[in-house]
Amino acid sequence: MNDRLPILNIWVDPVNQHAAIKRVRSFLKDGKRPHTIFAANPEKNYSLPKDPSLYEIYKNADLLLPDGMGVMMAARMLHGANISRVPGSEFIFDLCKLAVEEKCGIFIYGSKEDVNAKSAEKLKALFPGLMIAGRANGYLNENDMTKLIEQINSSQAKILFIALGSPKQEMWFASYKEELEHVRVVQGIGGTLDTIGGNVKRAPQIWCRLNLEWLYRLLSEPKRVKRQKVLPVFAWQVMNEWLRLKLGFRRRSQAGS
């Protein structure tokens, strides 16, 4: 992507919800291969570089959503990009709506069997006409992969949701992408099925509108502090990068005057 923005050690696409949907529509219409959608957030700035192969998968994704508030603010500070947050946990609904409009099937792979089944029913209820071409829980072993790929291909689903959590879902795609015959859009959705199925409560709308969903989840699940402790570090490093860029620009301006 020529307009992809570097944010410290990761990247994000300068899109809002409308632009992201437009890109996915083009993947469905003109794509000749599976196109990947992953979320860009502060946590991945520190986890991804530790695994070179995973880092490469992420770097070559077709759409990197500004999932986290931190990444959105960093894009604005470092690049002046006027982008808005596009949570991956909400983008799945945009894709389901798009699937109905384009009359294409979806396949849901991942999570526990009961959560997967319940989420499928919830999505069908939310989006009348949605074709769930197939589904499979995430507790399959390596010997089951051939059968799973056959199931996905025979379903002729064009959209595949992978709910295995990161980095497992990205690694799964890297291993099997060449075997997917009809899929044109793949979104890694992490634990989103737990939210859709009702196992995990989503933050109230007022928290989401104020971009404080991260705080609500932290208060609801204190154990998340281990993951979210990178947030202040990320903010500090973005501020340092902003100062570096600003000072560099000032020095170049002074040299040219």
Whether residue 248 is contained in a domain is answered as no
Closest CA to 62 of 96, 90, 114, 22: 22
Q: Which phi and psi angles does 160 have, rounded to 5°? A: -120, 125
What's the pLDDT band for 68 if we cut at 50, 70, 90? confident
What's the pLDDT band for 251 if we cut at 50, 70, 90? low
- Write down the pLDDT at residue 82: 85
Mean pLDDT along residues 75-90: 91
Tens-digit pLDDT profile for residues 90-109: 999 999 999 999 999 999 99
Q: SS in 3 state form for 94-156?
A: HHHHHHHHHCCCEEEEECCHHHHHHHHHHHHHHCCCCCEEEEECCCCCHHHHHHHHHHHHHHC
- Write down the pLDDT at residue 198: 66
- Write down the pLDDT at residue 158: 98
In the predicted structure, residue 231 carries a pLDDT above the cut 90: no
Q: State the residue range of the domain holding 39.
A: 5-237
In the predicted structure, residue 80 carries a pLDDT above the cut 70: yes
Q: Which residue is listed with tokens 């632009």?
A: 19
Higher pLDDT, 202 or 36: 36
Whether residue 20 is contained in a domain is answered as yes
Whether residue 43 is contained in a domain is answered as yes
- Write down the pLDDT at residue 195: 87
Whole-number Å distance between alpha carbons of 188 and 224: 20
Whether residue 255 is contained in a domain is answered as no
Whether residue 232 is contained in a domain is answered as yes
Tens-digit pLDDT profile for residues 148-188: 999 999 999 999 999 998 889 999 999 999 999 999 999 99
Whether residue 86 is contained in a domain is answered as yes
Average pLDDT, the chain: 88
Tens-digit pLDDT profile for residues 6-17: 999 999 999 999
Mean pLDDT along residues 30-53: 92
Whether residue 257 is contained in a domain is answered as no
Mean pLDDT along residues 110-120: 95
| CB neighbour list of residue 217: distance below 8 Å, 6 or more residues apart | 203, 224
- Total domains in the fold of the chain: 1
In the predicted structure, residue 214 carries a pLDDT above the cut 60: no
Q: Which residue is listed with tokens 């509108």?
A: 209
Whether residue 226 is contained in a domain is answered as yes
Q: Whole-model pTM?
A: 0.85
DSSP run (H or E) holding 6:
strand 5-7
- Write down the pLDDT at residue 15: 94
